[in-house]
Structure 1
Amino acid sequence: MNEKKPREKGSKAKLREYFVANVGKVLDAETLSKVAGKSEWGRRVRELRNEEGMNIVTHNDLSELKPGQYLLVNLKPLPAFERGISKETRAFVLDRNGFTCQMCGAAAGEPHPYDQNRKTRLHLGHIIDKSMGGTDDAANLRAICSVCNEGASNLTLNRPQAIKLLAQIRRAPSADQLDVLRWIVKKFPLQAKNILEE
């Protein structure tokens, strides 16, 4: 009689369980990489946050965290969005880009030029991020390898100066200004408290 082997958990399921078991604790990138057992753990964390609505924050969201640190704030789910890129669009973009990363030029399946221990795996990346109003249209997508994709969230165009940011905030409706204020207070709670006490 053939008994079925229990199915092994995928890296996303392992990460989900680990975050839930450590809710409220700061976790580092090295630990999460070991838990996932794969090099693309960062992508899986983004999927947990963006597609499943897990309230995972980084140094971009909370000033007390350092780069490479993650925190599941609580178990209350946030609004999530589904992947909206069809197989046809994916195939079109990869073919249009010659199955090469548009950031470093690595070709799919070949050893990666910056990490010889990995074969190049291509993903689709947004030129203008969805959080900035970008769409899933082929014109806003490009082929990007997993190595560049893991660092892409840290890349920005020229960072705006404070005077330009303030000008934009002043032009925004009051409701949007309050959203900015809430985000700043949430990211810098200690500094906000000190400023209010001055």
Structure 2
Amino acid sequence: MATEKKARGGARGKLRAHFLENIGRVMDSDELRVVAENQSEWARRVRELRTEEGYQILTHNDRSELKPGQYLLETPKPQPAFERAISKETRAFVLDRNGFTCQMCGAVAGEAHPYDVTRKTRLHLGHVIDKSMGGTDDPANLRAICSVCNEGASNATLTRPDLQKLLIQVRRGTSQDQLAVLQWLIKKFPKQAAEWSTVKT
């Protein structure tokens, strides 16, 4: 356990230092894997820098000009990080409720992973609505997710909502939530937003 924690801290520290030395520069997954000295869960360490330390490391989900597998740290100042407040009881309840099965790809805990047979499936808890978008640690907002899907290696297995379903959900939201969605879209698609604004005026 102590060795695992030391390895995790070492890889995360190296990644943190590398991001801070390269603020404003786009980096890809191959570069970050080398920085973390090929640690198998380097993507998880990057995610910890975001969720536990509050560094605003952007991906293609945040900016349209970034490609999948690219990362960008715009500012050295971290935002307040979320606390890891999920209890052991909640974790056990969610894993049991989900049948100890990844809710994205269907991999079962302890068995060889269907997309990476070199390792056994390890399950984590993931948020249905991310905490950065107002999600909570309530069991209703949690699901079992394997480390492969959690690292983004199997995003293609997630069923994405179609346009109509997305629009319905946005329309159901409060005006404040709709404005938050608009602000996020403008940040992700700044060029398109500027072009649209120019055409309208």
Secondary structure of 1:14's aligned partner: helix
| Aligned-residue offset at 1:33 | 2.4
- Aligned ranges for residues 52-67 of structure 1 at < 5 Å? 52-67=53-68
Indicate the residue corresponding to 2:42 in structure 1. 41
| Aligned-residue offset at 1:111 | 2.3
Q: Matches of 2:21 and 2:95 in 1, distance apart?
A: 38
| Aligned-residue offset at 1:112 | 1.5
Residue identity opposite 2:16 in structure 1: R
Asked if 1:160 is matched to 2:185, the reply is no
Indicate the residue corresponding to 2:13 in structure 1. 13
What is the TM-score with the length of structure 2 in the denominator? 0.75
| Aligned-residue offset at 1:27 | 0.7
Q: Matches of 1:110 and 1:63 in 2, distance apart?
A: 36
Identity across the alignment (%): 63
Asked if 1:118 is matched to 2:119, the reply is yes
- Residues 149, 155 of structure 2: 8 Å contact kept: no
| Aligned-residue offset at 1:13 | 1.6
Change (3 A) 1:166 1:106: closer
Secondary structure of 2:151's aligned partner: helix
What is the TM-score with the length of structure 1 in the denominator? 0.76
| Aligned-residue offset at 1:127 | 3.5
Residue identity opposite 2:49 in structure 1: L
Indicate the residue corresponding to 1:149 in structure 2. 150
Change (3 A) 1:164 1:98: closer
Q: Matches of 1:87 and 1:162 in 2, distance apart?
A: 34
Indicate the residue corresponding to 2:95 in structure 1. 94
Change (3 A) 1:96 1:61: closer
Larger deviation: 158-167 or 87-96? 158-167
Residue identity opposite 1:18 in structure 2: H
Structure 2 residues without counterparts, runs of 5 or longer: 1-5
Indicate the residue corresponding to 1:71 in structure 2. 72
Q: Matches of 1:103 and 1:182 in 2, distance apart?
A: 28
Indicate the residue corresponding to 1:31 in structure 2. 31
Secondary structure of 1:93's aligned partner: helix
Aligned length: 190
Secondary structure of 2:149's aligned partner: helix
- Residues 123, 145 of structure 2: 8 Å contact kept: yes
- Residues 26, 71 of structure 2: 8 Å contact kept: yes
| Aligned-residue offset at 1:107 | 3.1
Taking only aligned residues, the RMSD between alpha carbons, in angstroms, comes to: 3.2
Larger radius of gyration: 1
Structure 1 residues without counterparts, runs of 5 or longer: 1-6
- Residues 171, 178 of structure 2: 8 Å contact kept: no
| Aligned-residue offset at 1:88 | 2.4
